Amino acid sequence: MKKTKILVIDDEQNLRLLMSEELKDLGYEVETASDANEALEKFDRSNFDLVTIDIEMPGKNGIELAGILRQKYPGLRIVLLTAYSHYKYDLASWAADAYVVKSADLTELKDTIKKLLQM
């Protein structure tokens, strides 16, 4: 069975590292990108089942990128990550499949990803 592929997009190196290790532990194939442009380049080369996007990024921000990806890859699961909590109800519904506030505890993020991939 082909492994499920996840792309982690975040400008914080340590966060990319943390997330990719945590998700690999769950058995997914993980790649990372530090900004929107790098992410779109990766999409040109391979298919992903799910992306996590940090909203606050230099260059194109996460919401913009989510919009582009949603249009290009309708089946793609998109999870938006943010340090803020107030975007949650505004944006998740249309741009992303889930919206997760960053936290020291990554359980919520992992549960959300698992749930989305089972659907």
Partner 1 sequence: MRIFEKVTEFFLKGYKSNAMNDIAQLINSAADAEYCDILLYEKHKDQFRVVGTSGEKEKIGSLKIDSKSLKNYSHVVRLVYSDQLLGALILEKPRNLNLQEIVDELSFSLWWVNKFIELQNVSEKYHSMNELTNVFYNSVDKEQFKIEMVKVIARVLNADTVIFFERNGEEYVFSSSFGISKDQLLFERVKYTHPFFSKVERAEGGTLDIKSRIDFLDISVKSLMAIPLKTQERIIGIIVVLNKISPEGYRTQYSFDEFDLSILHEISRRVTLGYTRLEYQEGLRREVEKLRNYTKSYQELIQQQQLYLKKMDLVHSISNAMRASYDPNNVYKTLLLGLTSGRGLGFNRALLLIKDKKTESLVGKIWLGPESGDDITEIWKEAEKRAMSYGDFSQFLREEALMLDAGKGLTKRIEGKVFTYKEHPVLERVVLRRRLIHISPSLAKSMEDSIRDLLNLLEVEEFVVIPLVGRWDTIGVLILDNRFTRTPILEADIEVLRIIADSAGLAIENAMNYEELRKKTESLEQQKNMIEYLRKFSDSILQNLTTAVIVIDRSGKVIECNRKVEQLLGLPKERVLGSSYTDFGETFENIFEVAMKVFEKGETITLSRYRVETSQGERYFDTKYSPLWDLTGSTINGVIVTLDDVTQQFKFEQERKDKEKLAVLGEMSARVAHELRNPITVIGGFLGRLKKNISDPEAREKYLNILSNEVENLQNIVSEILEFSKNIRKLDIISLQLNDLIDEVIFLMQDKANKGGIKIENLLSPLPEIEVDRNRIKRVLINLIQNAIEATQQNGKIIIKTQRDNDKVIVSIFNTGEPISEDVMRGIFIPFYTTKTYGTGLGLPICKKIIEDEHGGRIWVEPKPDGTQFSFELPIKRGN
For residue 8, the minimal CB distance to partner 1 (Å) is 12
For residue 114, the minimal CB distance to partner 1 (Å) is 17
User: Which lies closer to partner 1 via its Cβ, residue 46 or residue 83?
Assistant: 83
For residue 62, the minimal CB distance to partner 1 (Å) is 12
The arrangement of strands across the sheet holding 98-101 comes to 29-33, 5-9, 50-54, 77-82, 98-101
Q: Cα(20)–Cα(32) distance, rounded to whole angstroms?
A: 7
User: Which lies closer to partner 1 via its Cβ, residue 77 or residue 102?
Assistant: 102
Q: Which helix (H) or strand (E) holds 7?
A: strand 5-9
Burial tier of 101 (Cβ tally within 10 Å: 0-12, 13-18, 19+): middle
How many residues are recorded in the chain?
119
For residue 71, the minimal CB distance to partner 1 (Å) is 25
User: Which lies closer to partner 1 via its Cβ, residue 44 or residue 105?
Assistant: 105
User: Which lies closer to partner 1 via its Cβ, residue 72 or residue 111?
Assistant: 111
Interaction site with partner 1 (CB under 8 A): 11-12, 14-15, 17-19, 21-22, 56, 58, 82-84, 86, 101-106
Q: Cα(66)–Cα(8) distance, rounded to whole angstroms?
A: 12
